Amino acid sequence: MSKNISKLSGRKGLQENLFDKVRQTGRDAGDVASQHLLGKSSIHGSRGFYDFLSENFRQQKAWVCNGTSCLCSGDQESLKVDLEKALGEGKVGTMTCLGRCYHGDSFQFDGANYSGGQSANIKQLTKEKAGIPGYGVSCDSKIAVLTNEGFATLNQFTVALENLLEQSRMEILALVKASGLRGRGGAGFSAGIKWESCMREEADSKFVVCNADEGDPGAFSDRYLLEQQPLRVIFGMLVAGWITGAKEGVVYIRGEYPESISIMREIISQLYEKGLLGSDILGKDLDFDLYVLEGAGAYICGEETSLLASIEGRRPEVDVRPPFPAVEGLYKQPTVVNNVETLASVQGVLDMGADAYASLGSGRSTGTKLVSLDAGFCRPGIVEVEMGVSLRHVINDVAGGFRVPTKAIHIGGPLGGLVPVDSIDALNVDYESFATEGFLLGHASFVCIPESFPMVRYLQHLFEFVRDESCGKCFPCRLGSVRGEEMFSQAIVGEKRLNRDLVNDLLDTMEQGSLCALGGGLPLPVRNILQYFADELQEYFHQDMLIHARQLS
Ligand SMILES: Cc1cc2nc3c(=O)[nH]c(=O)nc-3n(C[C@H](O)[C@H](O)[C@H](O)COP(=O)(O)O)c2cc1C
Ligand code: SF4
C-alpha cells in the first residue's frame, strides 16, 4: 500500500508536492486526494500525524519550548503563565525544541521565535523585531572548516562551482571518500560510500535530501548553518547531485525553525535568479532544482525513512531497511539523505583537500564537529572543535565551565548517552571514545543537568518525549514508552515504587524489539542514569528501599 502511495505521489513529484498540500489542506481533503489519485483516508492518515496540523494547535497563539534544556532551566512553567496572561487561557501550547538552548525562556509567537526575556513585551513583538538573536560562535580547531566566512558572496559560490565542474565526478568522489567525512546526523556513516552506492544505481531519477529536521532537544548547530551558512549547505547538495546524478533536491526544515525556512527560501530564489540553480547551471552538464519543505512538528521525521515518507505525503511511519534510501528512497528512487552539517562540511573538504581534512581529528573521526552548548555553560553557543579533542578541554576552556553546580551532561540528544561529570575525563569528542565508554556522541548537543534537578524527573521526561514522538509502528516503543512514563510518574508522586526487574525488562524489550533508534535508543541514557545515579534514585525503588531499611535497622 505504501509503495502505491509513493508512486502516486511521485507522479506529481516535488513540483506539486503532496506533503505541502497535506499541510495546507483543511479537513476536507477531497481535492488533494483526487489530484493525486489517492483515497481521502491516505490524506487524513498523513495529516492526523502532525502536531502542527491538529485542531488544538490551530487554536493556540504561542508555544513554549519544552525541550530538555528549557526543562532543566526551570523557567517553562512561569513563562507559560506569563504568556497565558497576555494571550488568554488555553492559548499557549508547547513545541520541542526551538533551538534556543543557549538562552532558555524560549517560545514561538506569530511565526517567529523569541527567547531570553522577550515574553515581557509580547504585545509589542513583531517578526521584524525577532531577528536572529546573538549567540556565541567560536572555533577551537586549528583550522576552521565550518565557522569561517565560507561563501561571503554569490561570486565566491560561483567560483567554487566552476572549480567543481572542472573535475570529474570520480575525482570528487575519491576526494570525499579519502577525507573520511562521516555523517554528522548521528550514525556516522561514510558520506563518500553513501554517495557512491547512490551513484552506481541505474534509475530514471535520483534525489538529494538535506535532513534539516534537527529534532534533538539541545541541538542548534544545523540551525546555525541554515541561517548563517546557507550557501555552504546548498553547495554540498550540488556536489552530491553532481556525483550521484541526482537532479532534484529537498531541504526538509523543521517547522520549529521559521527563520531558517525563510532564509533558505530567500537564498534559493537568489540562486535561481543568477542561474546557479535550475537547468544547465553555468552552461555545464549540471541540472539541479531545489525545494524547501517545512516540517509540521514530528520528531520522528528526522529518521531518514520517516523523513522520506513525510516528503511523499505518506503517514511518516518508519520503514524497514534494507533497502536503504541510497538504493530505494524518495518516490522509490535512489536518494542521498544527509544531515545539514555533513553537507556543509563538503565545501571545506574540496577547499582544503582530502589529506588536510583527514589530518584534522583522530583515527576514524576526521575533520571538525560543531558542538551545541546550552545555557548551563558559562559561554553557551556554537563551537567548532577538531574531532578527538578532549571533552574536559571543551567544557573547561571553551565553554568556560558550568554556570551552576552540575551533575551530568546529556550529550547527543534524548537518545544519546548521559555523561556524569565524573566520566568527562575518559571522553574525547569523537565517535570511538564515546562508544567505548558506553555513551553516544550523536549530533553533539550538550545539555547540562544541574545538581538540583531530580534525576527521577529527568527519566520521566525521557519516556514522555519518546511517548509523544513515537511513530507507533512497533509496540515495544509505542507501549513501552507509555508504561515507562507511567512508572516514573507514579514513583515521583509516591503512588507506586519502581520495580527494578520490571524496569530492566522494559528496557530490554525496547532495546531489542524496537524497529528504529527512537524506542531502541532510549534505554541507553536511562541505563546511564540508573547506573551512575543509583544512590539518588534508591528511594524510588521498591526492593532497594527494603534493603536500605534493613541496613539501617
Ligand atoms: C529517531 C531518529 C531521529 C533522527 N533525527 C535526525 C535529525 O533530526 N537530523 C539528522 O540529520 N538525522 C537524524 N537522524 C538520523 C537519520 O536517520 C540519518 O541517519 C541521517 O540523516 C543521515 O545523514 P548523515 O549520514 O549525513 O548523518 C535520526 C535518526 C533517528 C533514529
Ligand atoms: S521504535 Fe518507535 S519510532 Fe521507531 S519505528 Fe518503532 S514505534 Fe516508530
Closest atom of ligand 1 to 215 CA is 8
The full length of the chain comes to 553
Determine how many CB atoms are found less than 10 A away from the CB of residue 23: 19
- Residue 150 CB–ligand 1 contact under 6 Å: no
Those residues with Cβ within 8 angstroms of residue 371's Cβ, 6 or more apart along the chain or in another chain: 221, 382, 383, 384, 385, 394, 429, 444, 445, 446
Residues 274 and 325 in one domain: yes
Q: What amino acid is encoded at 335 in this protein?
A: T
- The whole-number pLDDT of residue 155 equals 96
In a domain, 363, yes or no: no
User: Of 112-116, 119-123, 147-151, 340-344, where does mean pLDDT reach its minimum?
Assistant: 119-123
Those residues with Cβ within 8 angstroms of residue 443's Cβ, 6 or more apart along the chain or in another chain: 184, 185, 186, 214, 216, 219, 221, 222, 339, 341, 372, 412, 413
- Whose CA is closest to atom 14 on ligand 1? 303
Domain count, the chain: 4
In a domain, 223, yes or no: yes
Residues 44 and 107 in one domain: no
Determine how many CB atoms are found less than 10 A away from the CB of residue 265: 16
Ligand number nearest CA of 303 is 1
pLDDT tens, residue by residue, 231-274: 999 999 999 999 999 999 999 999 999 999 999 999 999 999 99
Residues 521 and 536 in one domain: yes
- The whole-number pLDDT of residue 74 equals 87
Query: What's the average model confidence in pLDDT over 339-356?
Result: 97
Query: What's the average model confidence in pLDDT over 18-43?
Result: 89
d(CA 98, ligand 1 centre) in Å:
18
Residues 352 and 460 in one domain: no
- Whose CA is closest to atom 2 on ligand 1? 303
- CATH classification at residue 207: 3.40.50.11540
Measure the CA–CA gap between 356 and 553, rounded to whole angstroms.
65
Query: What's the average model confidence in pLDDT over 426-430?
Result: 96
Residues 33 and 81 in one domain: no
Measuring from each residue's beta carbon to the nearest atom of ligand 2, which residues come in under 6 Å? 300, 318, 470-474, 477-478, 514-516, 518-520
Closest atom of ligand 2 to 510 CA is 1
Domain end (from 326, 358, 390): 358
| HSE toward the beta carbon, residue 189, CA cutoff 13 A | 14
Quick check: 462 pLDDT over 70?
A: yes
- The whole-number pLDDT of residue 549 equals 43
Query: What's the average model confidence in pLDDT over 539-544?
Result: 80
Residues 474 and 539 in one domain: yes
In a domain, 423, yes or no: no
Whether residue 164 contacts residue 243, with contact meaning beta carbons closer than 8 Å, is answered with no
- The whole-number pLDDT of residue 92 equals 95
Measure the CA–CA gap between 36 and 9, rounded to whole angstroms.
6
Supply 114's cell numbers. 523569541
- Residue 6 CB–ligand 1 contact under 6 Å: no
Binned at pLDDT 50, 70 and 90, residue 118 comes out as: confident
Residues 146 and 293 in one domain: yes
- CATH classification at residue 97: 3.40.30.10
> What DSSP assignment string belongs to 357-402?
HHHSEETTEESEEEEEE-TTBSS-EEEEEETT-BHHHIIIIIS-SB
Query: What's the average model confidence in pLDDT over 488-515?
Result: 96
- The whole-number pLDDT of residue 127 equals 61
State which of 301, 473, 485, 512 you would mutate to test the pocket of ligand 2, scoring each by most atoms of that ligand within 8 A of its C-beta. Answer: 473
Measure the CA–CA gap between 207 and 502, rounded to whole angstroms.
45
Q: What amino acid is encoded at 174 in this protein?
A: A
In a domain, 394, yes or no: no
d(CA 301, ligand 2 centre) in Å:
11
- The whole-number pLDDT of residue 126 equals 62
- CATH classification at residue 478: 1.20.1440.230
Supply 342's cell numbers. 555533513
In a domain, 403, yes or no: no
Query: Which letter does DSSP use for residue 217 in this model?
Result: T
Whether residue 213 contacts residue 304, with contact meaning beta carbons closer than 8 Å, is answered with no
Quick check: 402 pLDDT over 90?
A: yes
Query: What's the average model confidence in pLDDT over 284-300?
Result: 95
d(CA 145, ligand 2 centre) in Å:
35
In a domain, 327, yes or no: yes
Quick check: 120 pLDDT over 70?
A: no
> What DSSP assignment string belongs to 499-512?
PHHHHHHHHHHHHH
- The whole-number pLDDT of residue 167 equals 93
Q: What amino acid is encoded at 509 in this protein?
A: T
In a domain, 388, yes or no: no
State which of 179, 195, 210, 211 you would mutate to test the pocket of ligand 1, scoring each by most atoms of that ligand within 8 A of its C-beta. Answer: 211
How would you classify the pairing of strands 381-386 and 136-139? Answer: parallel
- Residue 99 CB–ligand 1 contact under 6 Å: no
Quick check: 370 pLDDT over 80?
A: yes
Residues 130 and 143 in one domain: no
Quick check: 173 pLDDT over 90?
A: yes
Query: What's the average model confidence in pLDDT over 153-182?
Result: 96
Query: Which letter does DSSP use for residue 102 in this model?
Result: T
Mean pLDDT of the chain: 93
Residues 144 and 129 in one domain: no
Residues 293 and 145 in one domain: yes
- The whole-number pLDDT of residue 128 equals 58
User: Of 77-91, 242-256, 403-417, 492-506, where does mean pLDDT reach its minimum?
Assistant: 77-91
Query: What's the average model confidence in pLDDT over 359-377?
Result: 95
Measure the CA–CA gap between 350 and 160, rounded to whole angstroms.
9
Residues 348 and 207 in one domain: yes
Quick check: 187 pLDDT over 60?
A: yes
SS (H, E, C) 12-24: HCCCCCHHHHHHH
d(CA 472, ligand 2 centre) in Å:
6
| Domain range enclosing 473 | 455-552
- The whole-number pLDDT of residue 552 equals 45
Quick check: 548 pLDDT over 90?
A: no
Ligand number nearest CA of 510 is 2
Query: What's the average model confidence in pLDDT over 407-436?
Result: 96
Binned at pLDDT 50, 70 and 90, residue 122 comes out as: confident
- The whole-number pLDDT of residue 553 equals 41
> If we measure between CA atoms, which residue out of 106, 99, 112, 95 comes closest to residue 57?
95
d(CA 514, ligand 2 centre) in Å:
6
In a domain, 176, yes or no: yes
d(CA 515, ligand 2 centre) in Å:
6
Closest atom of ligand 2 to 318 CA is 5
Closest atom of ligand 2 to 466 CA is 2
d(CA 71, ligand 2 centre) in Å:
24
Binned at pLDDT 50, 70 and 90, residue 139 comes out as: very high
> If we measure between CA atoms, which residue out of 172, 139, 223 comes closest to residue 181?
172
User: Of 82-96, 211-225, 300-314, 371-385, where does mean pLDDT reach its minimum?
Assistant: 82-96
Measure the CA–CA gap between 393 and 522, rounded to whole angstroms.
28
> If we measure between CA atoms, which residue out of 82, 80, 62, 84 comes closest to residue 71?
80
Supply 109's cell numbers. 509567537
Residues 343 and 298 in one domain: yes
Measure the CA–CA gap between 467 and 453, rounded to whole angstroms.
21
Query: What's the average model confidence in pLDDT over 193-215?
Result: 97
Q: Report residue 461: phi and psi, to 5°.
A: -60, -40
**139 by DSSP, 3-state: which?**
strand
- The whole-number pLDDT of residue 284 equals 87
